[in-house]
Amino acid sequence: ETLGQRLRKEGRLQIDLLQRFGEDLLGVVVHLEEQGIWHRDIKPDNIAVGMVGRGDKLHLVLFDFSLSRMPAENIRAGTPGYLDPLLPLRQPPRWDNYAERYAAAMTLYELAVGSLPRWGDGTTDPSQLSPQTEITIDAEQFDSGLREPLSAFFRSAFKRTLKDRFHNAEEMLRAWRDCFKNIDPSRPVADESGSALRNELLDRAVFATTIPELGLGTRASNVLDRENILTVRDLLAFPLRRLSRMRGVGNKTRREITETARHLRQRLGTPASAEPEPETETPPEQPESTEALGALSVDQLLERLRRVSGREGDTLATALRVYLDVGIDGSTWLSQSDIARHVSVTRARIGQIIAKFQQRWKQDSAISLVRDLLAEAVAGHGGVLSLREAADALLVARGCAHDEPVRTAVACAVIRAAVEAERTTGEPRFLVWRVESRLLLSKQGDFVDYARRLGEQADLLSGEDPLAAPQRATEQLRAVPAPDGLKLSDARLRRLAAECSAGAVLSWRQEFYRRGMSAARAIRLSQGALMGPRELTIEQICERVQSRYPECA
Protein backbone atom coordinates (compact mmCIF):
# COMPACT_ATOMS: atom_id res chain seq x y z
CA GLU A 1 0.00 0.00 0.00
CA THR A 2 1.29 3.48 -0.81
CA LEU A 3 0.92 6.43 1.49
CA GLY A 4 -1.16 8.14 -1.20
CA GLN A 5 -3.63 5.25 -1.27
CA ARG A 6 -3.90 5.33 2.50
CA LEU A 7 -4.58 9.08 2.52
CA ARG A 8 -7.26 8.81 -0.15
CA LYS A 9 -8.94 5.97 1.73
CA GLU A 10 -8.69 7.18 5.34
CA GLY A 11 -7.90 10.90 5.24
CA ARG A 12 -5.23 12.61 7.29
CA LEU A 13 -3.17 10.63 9.76
CA GLN A 14 -3.64 10.07 13.46
CA ILE A 15 -1.04 11.89 15.55
CA ASP A 16 0.89 8.69 16.35
CA LEU A 17 1.43 7.94 12.66
CA LEU A 18 1.94 11.58 11.72
CA GLN A 19 4.89 11.86 14.08
CA ARG A 20 6.41 8.49 13.15
CA PHE A 21 5.94 8.80 9.38
CA GLY A 22 7.26 12.36 9.45
CA GLU A 23 10.42 11.22 11.20
CA ASP A 24 10.76 8.34 8.73
CA LEU A 25 10.48 10.62 5.70
CA LEU A 26 12.79 13.33 7.00
CA GLY A 27 15.27 10.69 8.12
CA VAL A 28 15.44 9.48 4.52
CA VAL A 29 15.86 13.06 3.28
CA VAL A 30 18.73 13.55 5.76
CA HIS A 31 20.44 10.39 4.47
CA LEU A 32 20.00 11.34 0.81
CA GLU A 33 21.27 14.85 1.49
CA GLU A 34 24.38 13.43 3.15
CA GLN A 35 24.96 11.20 0.09
CA GLY A 36 24.40 14.04 -2.36
CA ILE A 37 21.37 12.31 -3.93
CA TRP A 38 18.12 14.00 -4.97
CA HIS A 39 14.95 11.94 -5.32
CA ARG A 40 13.22 14.81 -7.17
CA ASP A 41 9.68 13.41 -6.88
CA ILE A 42 8.89 13.00 -3.18
CA LYS A 43 5.13 12.59 -2.79
CA PRO A 44 2.73 10.16 -1.03
CA ASP A 45 2.31 8.00 -4.15
CA ASN A 46 6.05 7.31 -4.17
CA ILE A 47 6.13 6.19 -0.54
CA ALA A 48 5.23 2.67 0.58
CA VAL A 49 3.72 1.85 3.99
CA GLY A 50 4.57 -1.44 5.67
CA MET A 51 6.28 -3.33 8.46
CA VAL A 52 10.01 -2.64 8.33
CA GLY A 53 12.56 -4.62 10.34
CA ARG A 54 11.67 -6.80 13.31
CA GLY A 55 9.23 -4.43 14.95
CA ASP A 56 5.46 -4.53 14.68
CA LYS A 57 5.05 -0.86 13.73
CA LEU A 58 4.33 0.63 10.33
CA HIS A 59 7.07 2.66 8.68
CA LEU A 60 7.67 4.42 5.38
CA VAL A 61 9.87 3.39 2.45
CA LEU A 62 10.64 5.91 -0.30
CA PHE A 63 10.79 4.38 -3.80
CA ASP A 64 10.85 5.32 -7.51
CA PHE A 65 14.14 7.14 -7.97
CA SER A 66 13.57 7.39 -11.74
CA LEU A 67 14.04 11.18 -11.77
CA SER A 68 17.13 11.22 -9.57
CA ARG A 69 19.48 11.34 -12.58
CA MET A 70 17.61 14.20 -14.23
CA PRO A 71 19.85 17.24 -14.94
CA ALA A 72 19.57 19.92 -12.27
CA GLU A 73 18.78 22.46 -14.98
CA ASN A 74 15.51 20.66 -15.75
CA ILE A 75 13.26 22.32 -13.20
CA ARG A 76 10.00 21.03 -14.70
CA ALA A 77 10.56 17.37 -13.85
CA GLY A 78 8.41 16.27 -10.93
CA THR A 79 4.80 16.42 -9.79
CA PRO A 80 2.95 19.78 -9.68
CA GLY A 81 1.90 20.61 -6.15
CA TYR A 82 5.01 19.01 -4.68
CA LEU A 83 7.39 20.76 -7.07
CA ASP A 84 8.82 24.00 -5.65
CA PRO A 85 7.03 26.67 -7.75
CA LEU A 86 9.74 29.24 -7.01
CA LEU A 87 12.49 27.33 -8.86
CA PRO A 88 12.20 29.69 -11.89
CA LEU A 89 13.30 32.54 -9.59
CA ARG A 90 16.57 30.85 -8.61
CA GLN A 91 19.77 32.42 -9.93
CA PRO A 92 20.44 30.38 -12.00
CA PRO A 93 17.22 28.30 -12.24
CA ARG A 94 18.20 24.77 -11.17
CA TRP A 95 17.16 22.03 -8.75
CA ASP A 96 18.62 22.23 -5.24
CA ASN A 97 18.29 20.90 -1.70
CA TYR A 98 15.68 23.55 -0.89
CA ALA A 99 13.43 22.12 -3.61
CA GLU A 100 13.93 18.59 -2.27
CA ARG A 101 12.95 19.68 1.24
CA TYR A 102 9.99 21.63 -0.17
CA ALA A 103 8.55 18.41 -1.63
CA ALA A 104 9.08 16.62 1.69
CA ALA A 105 7.33 19.46 3.55
CA MET A 106 4.40 19.33 1.11
CA THR A 107 4.06 15.62 1.80
CA LEU A 108 4.13 16.20 5.56
CA TYR A 109 1.49 18.92 5.27
CA GLU A 110 -0.76 16.55 3.34
CA LEU A 111 -0.31 13.90 6.04
CA ALA A 112 -1.35 16.42 8.70
CA VAL A 113 -4.24 18.11 6.89
CA GLY A 114 -5.36 15.79 4.10
CA SER A 115 -4.84 18.38 1.35
CA LEU A 116 -2.12 20.70 0.04
CA PRO A 117 -1.68 24.38 0.96
CA ARG A 118 -2.07 27.02 -1.73
CA TRP A 119 -0.25 30.10 -2.92
CA GLY A 120 -2.31 33.26 -3.39
CA ASP A 121 -5.61 32.61 -5.17
CA GLY A 122 -4.61 29.04 -5.96
CA THR A 123 -4.52 29.59 -9.73
CA THR A 124 -1.80 32.17 -10.35
CA ASP A 125 1.74 30.78 -10.75
CA PRO A 126 3.43 31.50 -7.37
CA SER A 127 6.54 32.72 -9.18
CA GLN A 128 4.40 35.51 -10.66
CA LEU A 129 2.97 36.66 -7.32
CA SER A 130 4.32 39.65 -5.43
CA PRO A 131 7.49 39.05 -3.38
CA GLN A 132 5.47 39.63 -0.21
CA THR A 133 3.05 36.76 -0.90
CA GLU A 134 3.63 33.69 1.26
CA ILE A 135 1.91 30.32 1.09
CA THR A 136 -1.41 30.00 2.99
CA ILE A 137 -1.19 27.62 5.94
CA ASP A 138 -4.62 26.42 7.10
CA ALA A 139 -3.57 26.26 10.74
CA GLU A 140 -7.07 25.47 12.00
CA GLN A 141 -6.81 22.04 10.38
CA PHE A 142 -4.03 21.03 12.77
CA ASP A 143 -4.95 19.38 16.03
CA SER A 144 -5.24 22.14 18.62
CA GLY A 145 -2.41 20.65 20.69
CA LEU A 146 -0.09 20.87 17.67
CA ARG A 147 -1.44 24.00 16.01
CA GLU A 148 1.23 26.49 16.98
CA PRO A 149 4.36 24.31 16.53
CA LEU A 150 3.15 22.82 13.23
CA SER A 151 2.19 26.26 11.92
CA ALA A 152 5.68 27.55 12.70
CA PHE A 153 7.27 24.45 11.13
CA PHE A 154 5.43 24.76 7.83
CA ARG A 155 5.82 28.53 7.63
CA SER A 156 9.58 27.99 7.82
CA ALA A 157 9.52 25.10 5.34
CA PHE A 158 7.65 27.09 2.67
CA LYS A 159 9.18 30.55 3.10
CA ARG A 160 9.48 32.46 -0.16
CA THR A 161 12.96 33.68 0.76
CA LEU A 162 15.34 30.70 0.80
CA LYS A 163 17.53 32.01 3.62
CA ASP A 164 14.45 31.97 5.87
CA ARG A 165 13.77 28.26 5.23
CA PHE A 166 15.39 25.33 7.02
CA HIS A 167 19.06 25.28 6.05
CA ASN A 168 19.41 21.50 5.93
CA ALA A 169 17.40 18.32 6.39
CA GLU A 170 18.87 17.63 9.84
CA GLU A 171 17.58 20.99 11.10
CA MET A 172 14.20 20.21 9.57
CA LEU A 173 14.05 16.81 11.30
CA ARG A 174 14.90 18.37 14.68
CA ALA A 175 12.17 20.97 14.20
CA TRP A 176 9.66 18.23 13.33
CA ARG A 177 10.49 16.29 16.49
CA ASP A 178 10.20 19.47 18.55
CA CYS A 179 6.61 19.89 17.32
CA PHE A 180 5.61 16.77 19.27
CA LYS A 181 7.79 17.05 22.37
CA ASN A 182 5.19 18.87 24.48
CA ILE A 183 2.30 16.55 23.69
CA ASP A 184 1.12 14.83 26.86
CA PRO A 185 2.46 11.27 26.67
CA SER A 186 -0.20 8.58 26.63
CA ARG A 187 -0.29 6.74 29.93
CA PRO A 188 -2.63 4.29 31.62
CA VAL A 189 -5.14 5.65 34.09
CA ALA A 190 -3.45 3.68 36.86
CA ASP A 191 -0.05 5.29 36.18
CA GLU A 192 1.23 7.04 39.29
CA SER A 193 2.43 10.04 37.26
CA GLY A 194 -0.38 12.54 37.39
CA SER A 195 -2.84 9.88 38.57
CA ALA A 196 -4.32 12.05 41.32
CA LEU A 197 -5.32 14.81 38.90
CA ARG A 198 -6.52 12.32 36.29
CA ASN A 199 -8.64 10.41 38.79
CA GLU A 200 -10.08 13.65 40.12
CA LEU A 201 -11.17 14.64 36.61
CA LEU A 202 -12.65 11.21 35.94
CA ASP A 203 -14.45 11.14 39.28
CA ARG A 204 -16.07 14.51 38.54
CA ALA A 205 -17.10 13.56 35.00
CA VAL A 206 -20.74 13.14 33.99
CA PHE A 207 -22.19 11.85 30.75
CA ALA A 208 -22.21 15.33 29.21
CA THR A 209 -18.53 15.99 30.03
CA THR A 210 -16.50 16.59 26.86
CA ILE A 211 -13.47 14.42 26.08
CA PRO A 212 -10.84 17.20 26.49
CA GLU A 213 -12.07 17.75 30.07
CA LEU A 214 -11.02 14.21 31.03
CA GLY A 215 -7.31 15.02 30.92
CA LEU A 216 -6.53 12.55 28.15
CA GLY A 217 -3.39 13.03 26.10
CA THR A 218 -3.52 14.83 22.77
CA ARG A 219 -3.07 11.57 20.86
CA ALA A 220 -6.02 9.89 22.57
CA SER A 221 -8.24 12.95 22.09
CA ASN A 222 -7.30 13.02 18.41
CA VAL A 223 -8.28 9.35 17.97
CA LEU A 224 -11.65 9.89 19.63
CA ASP A 225 -12.32 12.97 17.50
CA ARG A 226 -11.81 10.89 14.34
CA GLU A 227 -14.40 8.43 15.65
CA ASN A 228 -16.84 11.29 16.42
CA ILE A 229 -16.59 10.56 20.16
CA LEU A 230 -17.00 13.97 21.76
CA THR A 231 -18.44 13.29 25.24
CA VAL A 232 -18.33 10.68 27.99
CA ARG A 233 -21.72 9.48 26.78
CA ASP A 234 -20.27 8.86 23.30
CA LEU A 235 -17.24 7.06 24.74
CA LEU A 236 -19.29 4.69 26.89
CA ALA A 237 -21.57 3.89 23.95
CA PHE A 238 -18.58 3.05 21.71
CA PRO A 239 -17.70 -0.67 21.33
CA LEU A 240 -14.18 -0.87 22.75
CA ARG A 241 -13.40 -3.95 20.67
CA ARG A 242 -13.40 -1.67 17.63
CA LEU A 243 -10.32 0.03 19.06
CA SER A 244 -8.26 -3.07 18.34
CA ARG A 245 -9.13 -2.75 14.66
CA MET A 246 -8.48 0.97 14.30
CA ARG A 247 -5.56 1.70 12.00
CA GLY A 248 -2.82 4.09 12.94
CA VAL A 249 -3.41 4.02 16.72
CA GLY A 250 -0.46 3.23 18.98
CA ASN A 251 -0.79 0.60 21.69
CA LYS A 252 -0.22 3.10 24.51
CA THR A 253 -2.90 5.41 23.13
CA ARG A 254 -5.29 2.49 22.70
CA ARG A 255 -4.67 1.37 26.28
CA GLU A 256 -5.16 4.89 27.63
CA ILE A 257 -8.58 5.11 25.98
CA THR A 258 -9.78 1.65 27.04
CA GLU A 259 -8.72 2.07 30.67
CA THR A 260 -10.36 5.49 30.82
CA ALA A 261 -13.58 4.02 29.43
CA ARG A 262 -13.52 1.16 31.95
CA HIS A 263 -12.96 3.57 34.83
CA LEU A 264 -15.89 5.73 33.72
CA ARG A 265 -18.19 2.80 33.03
CA GLN A 266 -17.52 1.34 36.46
CA ARG A 267 -18.47 4.66 38.08
CA LEU A 268 -21.27 5.88 35.80
CA GLY A 269 -22.70 2.73 34.32
CA THR A 270 -24.15 2.77 30.82
CA PRO A 271 -25.36 5.96 29.11
CA ALA A 272 -28.94 4.81 29.41
CA SER A 273 -28.66 5.35 33.18
CA ALA A 274 -27.46 8.93 32.82
CA GLU A 275 -30.59 10.44 34.20
CA PRO A 276 -33.03 9.17 36.79
CA GLU A 277 -36.31 8.03 35.36
CA PRO A 278 -39.16 10.37 36.28
CA GLU A 279 -41.57 9.01 38.82
CA THR A 280 -44.56 7.34 37.18
CA GLU A 281 -46.68 7.41 40.29
CA THR A 282 -48.06 10.55 41.87
CA PRO A 283 -45.86 11.35 44.88
CA PRO A 284 -47.40 11.87 48.29
CA GLU A 285 -48.52 15.37 49.09
CA GLN A 286 -45.72 15.93 51.59
CA PRO A 287 -43.02 13.23 51.52
CA GLU A 288 -41.42 13.18 54.92
CA SER A 289 -38.17 11.26 54.55
CA THR A 290 -34.98 12.88 53.29
CA GLU A 291 -34.60 10.00 50.84
CA ALA A 292 -38.02 10.66 49.32
CA LEU A 293 -37.42 14.41 49.13
CA GLY A 294 -34.04 13.86 47.51
CA ALA A 295 -35.66 11.70 44.82
CA LEU A 296 -38.02 14.42 43.60
CA SER A 297 -37.33 15.29 39.97
CA VAL A 298 -37.00 18.93 38.91
CA ASP A 299 -40.50 19.09 37.42
CA GLN A 300 -41.92 17.65 40.65
CA LEU A 301 -40.04 20.29 42.63
CA LEU A 302 -41.54 23.06 40.51
CA GLU A 303 -45.00 21.61 40.96
CA ARG A 304 -44.39 21.64 44.70
CA LEU A 305 -43.24 25.28 44.58
CA ARG A 306 -46.33 26.41 42.70
CA ARG A 307 -48.82 24.99 45.17
CA VAL A 308 -51.07 27.62 46.70
CA SER A 309 -54.26 27.19 48.64
CA GLY A 310 -57.54 28.56 47.32
CA ARG A 311 -57.82 31.02 50.17
CA GLU A 312 -54.52 32.68 49.23
CA GLY A 313 -56.22 34.24 46.20
CA ASP A 314 -55.63 34.64 42.47
CA THR A 315 -53.26 37.61 42.84
CA LEU A 316 -50.79 35.58 44.86
CA ALA A 317 -51.00 32.62 42.47
CA THR A 318 -50.47 34.86 39.42
CA ALA A 319 -47.54 36.68 41.02
CA LEU A 320 -45.91 33.36 41.89
CA ARG A 321 -46.36 32.05 38.35
CA VAL A 322 -44.76 35.18 36.83
CA TYR A 323 -41.97 35.12 39.41
CA LEU A 324 -41.00 31.54 38.55
CA ASP A 325 -41.48 31.90 34.78
CA VAL A 326 -37.74 32.33 34.10
CA GLY A 327 -34.98 31.04 31.84
CA ILE A 328 -31.21 31.17 31.32
CA ASP A 329 -31.30 34.76 30.07
CA GLY A 330 -31.09 37.24 32.92
CA SER A 331 -33.71 39.45 31.27
CA THR A 332 -36.35 36.83 32.11
CA TRP A 333 -35.66 37.18 35.84
CA LEU A 334 -38.13 39.98 36.39
CA SER A 335 -37.70 42.47 39.21
CA GLN A 336 -40.44 43.06 41.75
CA SER A 337 -41.40 46.26 39.89
CA ASP A 338 -41.77 44.35 36.61
CA ILE A 339 -43.85 41.66 38.29
CA ALA A 340 -46.05 44.34 39.86
CA ARG A 341 -46.80 45.74 36.40
CA HIS A 342 -47.65 42.28 35.06
CA VAL A 343 -50.00 41.53 37.95
CA SER A 344 -51.39 45.09 38.21
CA VAL A 345 -50.61 45.57 41.90
CA THR A 346 -48.16 47.78 43.76
CA ARG A 347 -44.52 46.93 44.15
CA ALA A 348 -44.99 46.88 47.92
CA ARG A 349 -47.65 44.17 47.57
CA ILE A 350 -45.29 42.04 45.43
CA GLY A 351 -42.61 42.51 48.09
CA GLN A 352 -45.00 41.11 50.70
CA ILE A 353 -45.85 38.12 48.50
CA ILE A 354 -42.20 37.30 47.78
CA ALA A 355 -41.27 37.62 51.46
CA LYS A 356 -44.04 35.17 52.31
CA PHE A 357 -42.77 32.62 49.81
CA GLN A 358 -39.15 33.14 50.87
CA GLN A 359 -40.04 31.96 54.34
CA ARG A 360 -42.10 29.07 53.00
CA TRP A 361 -39.26 27.88 50.74
CA LYS A 362 -36.69 28.35 53.49
CA GLN A 363 -38.63 25.92 55.69
CA ASP A 364 -39.23 23.41 52.87
CA SER A 365 -36.85 20.47 53.33
CA ALA A 366 -37.02 19.62 49.63
CA ILE A 367 -35.74 23.10 48.69
CA SER A 368 -33.12 22.89 51.44
CA LEU A 369 -31.70 19.84 49.68
CA VAL A 370 -31.61 21.80 46.41
CA ARG A 371 -29.81 24.64 48.20
CA ASP A 372 -27.24 22.17 49.52
CA LEU A 373 -26.76 20.79 46.02
CA LEU A 374 -26.25 24.28 44.57
CA ALA A 375 -23.83 25.25 47.35
CA GLU A 376 -21.76 22.14 46.59
CA ALA A 377 -21.85 22.93 42.87
CA VAL A 378 -20.66 26.50 43.43
CA ALA A 379 -17.83 25.33 45.68
CA GLY A 380 -16.91 22.51 43.30
CA HIS A 381 -16.61 24.95 40.40
CA GLY A 382 -14.18 27.24 42.19
CA GLY A 383 -16.64 29.59 43.87
CA VAL A 384 -18.52 30.97 40.87
CA LEU A 385 -21.07 29.22 38.68
CA SER A 386 -23.17 30.37 35.73
CA LEU A 387 -26.91 29.87 35.86
CA ARG A 388 -26.66 27.50 32.89
CA GLU A 389 -24.13 25.36 34.76
CA ALA A 390 -26.27 25.41 37.89
CA ALA A 391 -29.27 24.24 35.87
CA ASP A 392 -27.20 21.45 34.31
CA ALA A 393 -25.98 20.32 37.73
CA LEU A 394 -29.54 20.22 39.07
CA LEU A 395 -30.85 18.33 36.04
CA VAL A 396 -28.04 15.77 36.18
CA ALA A 397 -28.71 15.16 39.87
CA ARG A 398 -32.51 15.04 39.75
CA GLY A 399 -33.64 14.55 36.16
CA CYS A 400 -36.74 16.04 34.57
CA ALA A 401 -39.72 14.63 32.68
CA HIS A 402 -39.66 17.43 30.09
CA ASP A 403 -37.54 17.93 26.98
CA GLU A 404 -35.55 21.04 26.08
CA PRO A 405 -36.04 23.94 26.26
CA VAL A 406 -38.68 23.37 28.94
CA ARG A 407 -36.44 21.27 31.20
CA THR A 408 -33.84 24.06 31.53
CA ALA A 409 -36.56 26.66 32.20
CA VAL A 410 -38.02 24.41 34.90
CA ALA A 411 -34.58 24.01 36.50
CA CYS A 412 -34.08 27.81 36.47
CA ALA A 413 -37.41 28.30 38.22
CA VAL A 414 -36.42 25.88 41.00
CA ILE A 415 -33.03 27.59 41.28
CA ARG A 416 -34.67 31.00 41.66
CA ALA A 417 -36.75 29.73 44.55
CA ALA A 418 -33.66 28.17 46.14
CA VAL A 419 -31.74 31.44 45.74
CA GLU A 420 -34.52 33.42 47.40
CA ALA A 421 -34.63 30.98 50.30
CA GLU A 422 -30.84 31.08 50.68
CA ARG A 423 -30.89 34.88 50.66
CA THR A 424 -32.88 34.97 53.90
CA THR A 425 -30.26 33.04 55.88
CA GLY A 426 -27.77 34.85 58.08
CA GLU A 427 -24.79 33.76 55.95
CA PRO A 428 -25.92 32.81 52.43
CA ARG A 429 -23.60 30.37 50.68
CA PHE A 430 -24.43 31.84 47.29
CA LEU A 431 -26.32 34.73 45.75
CA VAL A 432 -27.31 35.60 42.19
CA TRP A 433 -25.30 38.32 40.45
CA ARG A 434 -25.99 39.99 37.12
CA VAL A 435 -23.24 40.46 34.54
CA GLU A 436 -25.14 42.31 31.80
CA SER A 437 -27.69 39.72 30.59
CA ARG A 438 -25.96 36.79 32.28
CA LEU A 439 -26.56 35.46 35.78
CA LEU A 440 -23.93 33.96 38.06
CA LEU A 441 -24.11 32.18 41.39
CA SER A 442 -21.39 33.09 43.86
CA LYS A 443 -20.87 34.27 47.40
CA GLN A 444 -18.26 36.91 46.62
CA GLY A 445 -18.57 39.94 44.39
CA ASP A 446 -14.86 40.01 43.50
CA PHE A 447 -15.20 36.49 42.07
CA VAL A 448 -18.02 37.74 39.86
CA ASP A 449 -16.02 40.74 38.68
CA TYR A 450 -13.15 38.41 37.80
CA ALA A 451 -15.53 36.18 35.84
CA ARG A 452 -16.77 39.23 33.93
CA ARG A 453 -13.21 40.12 32.91
CA LEU A 454 -12.58 36.52 31.85
CA GLY A 455 -15.64 36.76 29.62
CA GLU A 456 -14.28 39.90 27.97
CA GLN A 457 -11.00 38.11 27.25
CA ALA A 458 -12.89 35.12 25.82
CA ASP A 459 -14.71 37.44 23.42
CA LEU A 460 -11.35 38.71 22.16
CA LEU A 461 -10.00 35.16 21.77
CA SER A 462 -13.07 34.01 19.85
CA GLY A 463 -12.34 36.54 17.12
CA GLU A 464 -8.85 35.22 16.36
CA ASP A 465 -8.02 33.60 13.04
CA PRO A 466 -6.91 30.84 13.26
CA LEU A 467 -8.66 29.83 16.46
CA ALA A 468 -6.38 30.11 19.46
CA ALA A 469 -5.13 26.74 20.70
CA PRO A 470 -6.37 25.87 24.22
CA GLN A 471 -2.91 26.29 25.75
CA ARG A 472 -2.45 29.80 24.38
CA ALA A 473 -6.02 30.76 25.27
CA THR A 474 -5.40 29.55 28.81
CA GLU A 475 -2.24 31.66 29.04
CA GLN A 476 -4.25 34.73 27.98
CA LEU A 477 -6.91 34.00 30.59
CA ARG A 478 -4.31 33.40 33.30
CA ALA A 479 -2.99 36.88 32.59
CA VAL A 480 -6.25 38.30 33.99
CA PRO A 481 -5.54 39.08 37.69
CA ALA A 482 -7.48 36.68 39.91
CA PRO A 483 -8.81 37.49 43.41
CA ASP A 484 -7.22 35.85 46.42
CA GLY A 485 -8.56 32.42 47.23
CA LEU A 486 -9.87 31.64 43.74
CA LYS A 487 -8.17 28.61 42.21
CA LEU A 488 -9.49 27.26 38.92
CA SER A 489 -8.23 24.39 36.77
CA ASP A 490 -7.43 25.19 33.14
CA ALA A 491 -10.61 23.51 31.91
CA ARG A 492 -12.74 25.33 34.48
CA LEU A 493 -11.07 28.64 33.63
CA ARG A 494 -11.93 28.30 29.94
CA ARG A 495 -15.50 27.21 30.58
CA LEU A 496 -16.16 30.04 33.02
CA ALA A 497 -14.76 32.54 30.53
CA ALA A 498 -17.10 31.22 27.84
CA GLU A 499 -20.09 31.28 30.17
CA CYS A 500 -19.42 34.91 31.08
CA SER A 501 -18.71 36.15 27.56
CA ALA A 502 -21.06 38.04 25.28
CA GLY A 503 -20.52 35.85 22.22
CA ALA A 504 -17.71 33.34 22.78
CA VAL A 505 -18.41 29.61 22.77
CA LEU A 506 -16.15 26.67 23.62
CA SER A 507 -15.80 23.99 21.00
CA TRP A 508 -15.44 20.39 22.12
CA ARG A 509 -11.69 20.88 21.61
CA GLN A 510 -11.75 23.71 24.17
CA GLU A 511 -11.15 26.40 21.52
CA PHE A 512 -13.01 29.69 21.69
CA TYR A 513 -15.10 30.46 18.61
CA ARG A 514 -17.67 33.15 17.98
CA ARG A 515 -21.38 32.38 18.32
CA GLY A 516 -22.89 32.46 14.82
CA MET A 517 -19.61 31.45 13.14
CA SER A 518 -20.23 30.79 9.44
CA ALA A 519 -21.22 27.28 8.42
CA ALA A 520 -18.43 27.25 5.83
CA ARG A 521 -15.79 27.83 8.48
CA ALA A 522 -17.36 25.27 10.81
CA ILE A 523 -17.22 22.66 8.02
CA ARG A 524 -13.60 23.53 7.30
CA LEU A 525 -12.72 23.15 10.98
CA SER A 526 -14.51 19.78 11.09
CA GLN A 527 -12.73 18.27 8.09
CA GLY A 528 -10.94 15.72 10.25
CA ALA A 529 -14.30 14.22 11.25
CA LEU A 530 -15.60 14.28 7.68
CA MET A 531 -12.65 12.73 5.85
CA GLY A 532 -12.47 9.37 7.66
CA PRO A 533 -15.77 7.66 6.66
CA ARG A 534 -16.11 6.51 3.06
CA GLU A 535 -19.44 8.27 2.71
CA LEU A 536 -21.66 10.51 4.79
CA THR A 537 -25.21 11.72 4.21
CA ILE A 538 -25.98 15.42 4.40
CA GLU A 539 -27.70 14.79 7.73
CA GLN A 540 -24.60 13.03 9.09
CA ILE A 541 -22.37 15.88 7.95
CA CYS A 542 -24.62 18.40 9.69
CA GLU A 543 -24.68 16.28 12.84
CA ARG A 544 -20.89 15.97 12.97
CA VAL A 545 -20.32 19.67 12.38
CA GLN A 546 -22.99 20.78 14.85
CA SER A 547 -21.75 18.42 17.55
CA ARG A 548 -18.37 20.19 17.36
CA TYR A 549 -19.60 23.75 16.84
CA PRO A 550 -23.21 23.71 18.06
CA GLU A 551 -23.63 27.48 17.91
CA CYS A 552 -22.33 28.10 14.40
CA ALA A 553 -24.65 29.72 11.87
Q: What's the pLDDT at 363? A: 92
Among residues 232, 226, 194, 240, the alpha carbon closest in space to that of 212 is found at 232
Q: Are 395 and 408 in contact (CB under 8 A)?
A: yes
| Residue range 408-455, pLDDT digits in tens | 999 999 999 999 999 888 899 999 998 888 899 999 999 999 999 999
Q: Are residues 426 and 481 in the same domain?
A: no
Residues 166 and 23 in one domain: yes
Statement: residue 329 has pLDDT above 80: no
Backbone angles phi, psi at 22, to 5 degrees: -65, -45
Q: Which residues contact 69 (CB under 8 A, 6 or more apart)?
A: none
Q: Is 12 a domain residue?
A: yes
What does the DSSP 8-state code read for residue 166? -
Q: What is the pLDDT of residue 275?
A: 42
For 121-163, what is each residue's pLDDT tens digit? Answer: 888 999 999 999 999 999 988 888 899 999 999 999 999 999 9
pLDDT confidence tier of residue 457, bands split at 50, 70 and 90: very high
Amino acid 276: pLDDT = 42
- 265 in a domain, yes or no? yes
Domain end position, chosen among 148, 180, 212: 180
Q: Is residue 283 part of a domain?
A: no
**Residue 86 is which amino acid?**
L
Confirm whether 426 is domain-assigned: yes
pLDDT for residue 191 is more than 80 = no
**Number of other CB atoms surrounding residue 254 within 10 Å:** 19
- 311 with 371, same domain: the answer is yes
Q: How many CB atoms lie within 10 A of CB 390?
A: 27
Q: What is the mean pLDDT of residues 198-225?
A: 81
Structural domain count, the chain: 4
Do 371 and 339 sit in the same domain of this protein?
yes
Q: Which of 23-27, 305-309, 529-533 has the lowest mean pLDDT?
A: 529-533
Q: Is residue 335 part of a domain?
A: yes
Q: What is the pTM of this model?
A: 0.67
Question: Is 280 inside a domain boundary?
Answer: no
The verdict on 438 and 294 lying in the same domain is yes
Q: For residue 286, what are the CA distances in angstroms to 292, 305, 416, 421?
A: 10, 12, 21, 19
For residue 303, pLDDT over 60 is answered with yes
Model confidence at 327: pLDDT above 80 = no
| End-of-domain residue from the set 273, 306, 327 | 273
270-302: per-residue pLDDT in tens? 775 444 433 333 334 444 578 888 889 999 999
Check whether residue 464 and residue 409 sit in a common domain. Answer: no
Q: Is residue 281 part of a domain?
A: no
Average pLDDT over residues 4-17: 88
Which of 183, 187, 185, 184 is CA-nearest to residue 255?
187
Backbone angles phi, psi at 152, to 5 degrees: -65, -40
The reply to whether 211 and 161 lie within a common domain is no
299 & 402 share domain: yes
Same domain, yes or no: 71 and 170: yes
Contact 511, 535 (CB under 8 A): no
Note whether residue 284 is domain-resident. no
Q: Tell me: the pLDDT tens digits for 225-254?
A: 878 888 888 888 888 777 656 666 777 888
Domain residues for the domain of 326 are 290-442
Q: Which helix (H) or strand (E) holds 201?
A: helix 195-204
pLDDT given for residue 54 in this prediction: 60
CA–CA–CA angle 497, 503, 504 (5° rounding): 45
Please check whether residue 446 is in contact with residue 483, taking contact to mean a CB–CB distance below 8 angstroms: yes
Q: What is the CATH number of the domain that holds 54?
A: 1.10.510.10
Percentage of the chain lying above the pLDDT 90 cut? 49
For residues 241 and 368, state if they share a domain: no
Residue 357 region by backbone torsions, left for phi larger than 0, else alpha for psi between -120 and 50, else beta: alpha
Claim to verify: residue 38 and residue 165 sit in the same structural domain: yes
Q: Within this chain, do residues 385 and 406 fall inside the same structural domain, yes or no?
A: yes
* Boundary-marking domain end, from 273, 299, 321: 273
Per-residue pLDDT for 176 more than 70? yes
For 525-544, how does the pLDDT look when each residue is reduced to its tens digit (9 = 90+)?
887 777 766 788 888 888 88
